Amino acid sequence: MKIRAGMIIAAMIAATTATTAFAQSSGADIYKAKCQSCHGAEGTPNPGIAKMMGVKPVSDPSVKSLSEAQMIADTANGKGKMTAFKGKLTDAEIKASVDYFRSLAK
């Protein structure tokens, strides 16, 4: 019984540590974990995702013309086929991932 309780406590500590580490992740880390699968490692989606999901590259003029605030709102609330990340990421994590995505256009 004591061993099982110790294992449960260890698992809870590990889960808390992992959550804290993710919360402090950089925009690049968040982007890689949550955004890269659709938006591509360099901000250019693969052609299949682009066609199926309507994802445009970061270099597209219509994407580049979006303000940071609009990108943050779109990421938080979802847009088109993109899922909303409000409640899944903190406001700071959403901003950091948007800042990183925008940096890929440079």
**What CATH number is associated with residue 47?**
1.10.760.10
Q: Report pTM.
A: 0.75
- Identify the pLDDT of residue 49: 92
On whether residue 42 sits in a domain, the answer given is yes
Q: What are the pLDDT digits (tens) for 38-53?
A: 999 999 999 999 999 9
Please answer whether residues 44 and 57 qualify as being in contact, where contact means their C-beta atoms are separated by less than 8 angstroms. Answer: yes
On whether residue 90 sits in a domain, the answer given is yes
Number of domains in the chain: 1
- Identify the pLDDT of residue 2: 52
On whether residue 6 sits in a domain, the answer given is no
Q: What are the pLDDT digits (tens) for 41-93?
A: 999 999 999 999 999 999 999 999 999 999 999 999 999 999 999 999 999 99
Burial class (CB in 10 A: 0-12, 13-18, 19+), 31: buried
On whether residue 66 sits in a domain, the answer given is yes
Residues spanned by the domain of 46: 26-103
